[in-house]
Amino acid sequence: MDSLPVNWEALDSLIIDFVKSENLIEDSGSPSTSPSTSLSPSSSTSSSSSSSYQSRLLIRQIRRSVEFGEIDAAIDLLRVHAPFVLDDHRLLFCLQKQRFIELLRKGTAEDRESAINCLRESLAPCALDAYPEAYEEFKHILLALVYDEEDKNSPVVSEWSPRRRIDIAGLLSSVLRAHLCAYDPLFAMSLRYLISIHKLFCFRQGVPSPISDLTQRLLLEDRDPPATPLESSYEAPPFDEVDIQALAHAVELTRQGAIDSLRFAKGDLNQAFQNELCRIRLDDPMFDELVHEYCVYRGFVNFSVVDSPGMQLSINDDQSESGQLSKNCSTEVGDGNTKLSGSDTSASQVIMEGSPESNTNLASIQSTDTEERYPSETSYGDCSTSGTPQFEKVLQKNKCLRVGETNKRKRWRGRHENTEFVSGPTSERSREDLNDDTTMLKDQQVSPKSCFLNMMKNREDKHELVLGLKELASRGMTEEVVEEINEMDSNFFVQNPSLLFQLKQVEFLKLVGSGDHTQALRVACSFLGPLASSHPDLLKPLKETLLALLKPNEEAFNDRLPLCVLANTLQVAIGRRLGIEEPQLMKIIRATLYTHDASRLDVDMSTDGSSQVTGSSNNRKQEDGSPTQSSARDVGCDETAILKVMEFLALPRADAIHLLAQYNGNAETVIQQIFA
C-alpha cells in the first residue's frame, strides 16, 4: 500500500484550502505552490470563506461554554448571534435544564437561590410548550434539589453527569452548523468520510487496519447528536428510497435516522450528507499537527516551531533525530499490490457539489498514470551523507536556488481561539482547564527544548536540500538534479534506477523538442538503453519514449512525462534517503483511498445489472465443466426486492443483493429465512 500513487497536486490544493479556511497561516496570502496548483481565491470566495470561518469560531465558543458549564455565557452568545436557536423551545428547555443543574453544582447558598429562580422564571414556563414530555422531565429534574451530585444511586444521576454537557454542546453545534452553513473545509469532511469507510471496511473484512494507531486518535468515537427536525417537517412528502439508502449507508445511519436527516435538510441530500459528516468529530490538535507536518514537507510554510495551543511541530524524521517528537504520530502502512485507478474528476466536487452517491470522485487524489508506470525504487536505508563535504557543497548550491521560494512561504500561526464573540469575561476555571490541557499536550509531544533545538539545524538543511532538488526537477532541470545527487550520494541511482531513467527521459525529450536529435540519441544510448537492459521493466517505457522522435519537435516534450509527477517522486525518494519520511497524512490518505476504492469495487460488482431482471443461470458451468456459484447478476434481482431487503434487515446494498442471489431474488424468502 506504501507504493500506491497519489496526486500530490490535488492533495496540495485541498490542504492549502484547509489551512487558509481555518486561518492557520499568518496572513491571508496563498502559500507558495507549484505552477499547477493555483489557489488564489476570488473576492466572493474569500468573503464566503471568511464568513464561514467566523461562524465556526462562534460555534466553537458556544460549544466550549456549554462543555465547561457556562450556560449563561452560551445563551448570551446565542441571543446576540443566533437568536433562532432560542426561538426553538425544545432547545431552550434543554439549555435551561442544564443551567439549573450548573447553578446547583456550584453549591453556594446564593447559587441555590438562583437555581430556584431559574425554575420559576425560565424552566417552568418553557416546559409548558417545549414538547409533550417536557413537563414530566421538568418534574423529574426537581429531584436534583434533593439528591446531590455525589449520590451515584439517585434517580437523577444522569442529569448530573458531565456527559450531559457534551451532548447539549454537540446538539447545538449540529443545529448551528446547518443554519449558518458553517461546514468544515472540504478536506476535513473528506478525511472524515474516508476514515469512516476505511474502519467499516476493515471491520467487515475482518482485517486489521495498518493505520489504526493514527485513525483511532484522529477520529473520535463520539458523534455530535443529530439535529432533529421540527414537528411540521414530519408532514413532508416521502423521500426517494434511493436517497434514503444512499445517505444511510454513506454515513452509517439507520433508515429512520436518514429520513430524519433529510427532513431536517428539507430533502436536500447534499446538505444532509454534509450535516452528517460534520457530526463526526476529529481531534483538532492532532489534525492540525498532521496538516502542519505536510505543509512543512511540501514547502508551504516555514520550518519552525510554533507555540500555539494544542499544536506542536512533529516532523517524521529518522528515529535517531525525532525520538520523542514523533512518537505520538508514527505508523507504518502494510504492503499492498493493488493499484487504484486514476480519475480526472476534480476533488473539490466530492462534498460541496456531490452527494453520497458521487463519493467516487475522491479518486482524483490518486496519481496520474505516469507515476504508476514508473514507481520509484527508493532505498529505505540510513543515509550517512549529512555532515559530509559533498552534502554541504550541494546544500550551499541549493540555498542559492531556494532564496526566492523560501521568502514566499507563510508562517504557521496555529489554531488561536478568537474571543471576539465572548459577551462576558471568560471564566478563570475554563481558562485554567484549557491551559492545563495545553501544557499536558506539550509535555507529551515535545522533547526537552535544548535537545530539540540541537537537531533543528541539520533537519532544516535536509528539508531545504530536498525542496531545492524538487524545484529543479519541476523546472525540467534534470541534468542539474542528476549532477547534484551524484555529487551528494554516488549510490543513490544504483538503488533507484527507474528514477534515473525518468530524469534522463526528460533530458532526452527536451533535446528532441529543441531539434537536437543527435544529442538526444546520445543520451538514449548512454543512459536509457543500458538502464532498460539491466531492468526489463523499463524496456516498454524506453520504446514509448523513442516514439517522440517521430513527432514534431514542439510536441515531443509537452506530451510526455509531467514534471510535477517526477518532482514529487524525486522528493519522496531523496527525502527517505536523507531520513525524512513522507508526512503521516500520506499514510492515512493512501490506506483510506485504497479501502474506499476496494469498497466501491465490491459494490459495483455486486450491483452490476441489479436494476434489471436477469434470468437465473444457476446450472451454468465453466469451460472445464465445474459449476459456477450464482451471483447477483445471475439472479432476478429487481430494485424493489433489493430495497425491501435493505429496509427490513438494515443491510448495505451489496449484502442485500448477495442474500437475494442465494434465494433466487425472492425478497420474502430472504426475510423469512433471516427471522426463522
Q: What is the pLDDT of residues 231-281, one digit of tens each?
A: 655 556 688 888 888 899 889 898 889 999 999 999 999 999 999 999 999
Q: Which pTM value belongs to this model?
A: 0.76
Secondary structure letter of residue 119 according to DSSP = I
CA neighbours within 13 Å on the CB side: how many for 66?
A: 26
What average pLDDT does the segment 356-377 reach? Answer: 51
- 25 bridge partner residues: 412
pLDDT of residue 6: 83
Question: What is the three-class DSSP state of 392?
Answer: helix
Question: What is the three-class DSSP state of 602?
Answer: helix
Angstrom distance (rounded) from CA 430 to CA 432: 5
Task: Enumerate the H helices of 107-161 as residue ranges.
Answer: 109-118, 124-127, 134-141, 157-160
pLDDT band at 500 (very low <50, low <70, confident <90, very high): very high
Q: Is 399 exposed, middle or buried (0-12, 13-18, 19+ CB in 10 A)?
A: middle
Q: Lowest-confidence range among 87-96, 270-279, 405-414, 471-480? A: 405-414
Percentages (nearest 5) of helix, strand, coil residues in the chain: 65, 5, 30
Phi-psi map region of 217: left, alpha, beta (phi>0 left; psi -120 to 50 alpha) = alpha
pLDDT by residue (tens digit) across 136-162?
999 999 999 999 899 989 999 999 999
In sequence order, the 6+-apart residues with CB closer than 8 A to the CB of 408 are 31, 32
pLDDT by residue (tens digit) across 2-29?
667 788 999 999 999 999 999 998 864 4
What is the b/e burial string over 140-160, where b = at least 16 CB atoms within 10 angstroms of the residue's CB?
ebeebeebebeeeebebeebb
pLDDT of residue 94: 95
Angstrom distance (rounded) from CA 232 to CA 263: 10
Q: How many angstroms separate the Cα of 609 from the Cα of each of 245, 518, 571, 637, 657? A: 18, 56, 44, 9, 11
Angstrom distance (rounded) from CA 519 to CA 588: 44
**Residue 236 grid cell:** 413532508
71 or 333: which leads in pLDDT = 71
pLDDT of residue 420: 53
With vertex at residue 506, the alpha carbon angle to CA 504 and CA 512, rounded to the nearest 5 degrees, is 105
Q: Is the pLDDT of residue 324 over 80?
A: no
Q: Is 449 exposed, middle or buried (0-12, 13-18, 19+ CB in 10 A)?
A: exposed
pLDDT of residue 486: 93
8 A C-beta contact, residue 332 and residue 584: no
pLDDT by residue (tens digit) across 76-98?
999 999 999 999 999 999 999 99
322 or 215: which leads in pLDDT = 215
8 A C-beta contact, residue 190 and residue 243: no
Q: How many angstroms separate the Cα of 670 from the Cα of each of 40, 210, 659, 660? A: 55, 36, 7, 7
**Residue 59 grid cell:** 460555534
Crossing angle between the packed helical segments 241-250 and 269-279, to the nearest 10 degrees:
20
What average pLDDT does the segment 172-201 reach? Answer: 94
Q: What percent of the chain has pLDDT over 90?
A: 46
What is the b/e burial string over 255-282, where b = at least 16 CB atoms within 10 angstroms of the residue's CB?
bebbbbbbbbbebebebbbbbbbbbbeb
Residue with cell 444522569: 158
What average pLDDT does the segment 638-650 reach? Answer: 78
342 or 578: which leads in pLDDT = 578
pLDDT of residue 647: 75
pLDDT by residue (tens digit) across 524-577?
999 999 999 999 999 999 998 898 888 766 555 555 567 898 999 999 999 999
Q: What percent of the chain has pLDDT over 70?
A: 66
Angstrom distance (rounded) from CA 648 to CA 638: 16
Angstrom distance (rounded) from CA 576 to CA 460: 15
What average pLDDT does the segment 581-607 reach? Answer: 80
pLDDT of residue 461: 86
Question: What is the three-class DSSP state of 379?
Answer: coil
Task: Enumerate the H helices of 489-562 as residue ranges.
Answer: 492-495, 497-513, 517-523, 529-534, 539-546, 553-556
Question: What is the three-class DSSP state of 608?
Answer: coil
What average pLDDT does the segment 62-66 reach? Answer: 97
The mean predicted confidence, pLDDT, of the chain is 76
pLDDT by residue (tens digit) across 444-453?
444 444 444 4
pLDDT of residue 440: 41
pLDDT of residue 656: 80
Q: Is the pLDDT of residue 435 over 80?
A: no
